[in-house]
Amino acid sequence: EKFASLDEILHLLNKIQRKWVHLEPIFGRGAMPRETDRFERVNQEYRRLMRNIGAAKRVNHLTTIVGLKDTLASMVDQLERCQRALNEFLEQKRTAFPRFYFIGDDDLLEILGQSANPAVIQSHLKKLFAGINRVSFNDGEQGGQGKA
């Protein structure tokens, strides 16, 4: 019974870690304030839990923590909500500018997160527009207009 419980706990921890590693850089930027708050609560709990696990001398200590499975299941649920919100956010951006369908989620997140950095935008242009490899930006112009 203890091994089955430990297996379930480790499975949940693995699931949380995989989701957390993917979402942490995204929500660390604060692009989606409401979901960033949700993620930050999970992030704090995750980091606290990892410190406690790191301090434990034996892995079977995990089975003695009261309510751990419920806490982990709740964290998985919250991370899945963050992932769904992120997917909806990216879909809205792609609907507004259909050429974003030509690039993956990571590239789109980089473009959105670094939109003020012309070098980042430049690196994705050939994926978005056939035949365009480089665009010159004029520093002095207002409104983010560039010169192709």
Percent of residues, the chain, with pLDDT higher than 90: 47
pTM (whole model) above 0.85: no
Q: Structural domains in the chain?
A: 2-97 (1.20.140.100)
Distance (Å, rounded) from C-alpha 47 to C-alpha 62?
Answer: 15
The per-residue pLDDT for 22 is 86
Mean residue pLDDT of the chain comes to: 87
Question: What's the full length of the chain, in residues?
Answer: 148
Query: Residue 6 CB: number of other CB atoms within 10 A?
Result: 15
Residue of 34 and 74 predicted with greater confidence: 74
- Give the whole-angstrom CA distance, residue 1 versus residue 82: 33
Does the pLDDT of residue 96 top 50, yes or no?
yes
Does 146 have pLDDT greater than 50? no
Residues 6+ apart with CB under 8 A from 2: 60, 63
Average of pLDDT values for 99-105?
A: 93
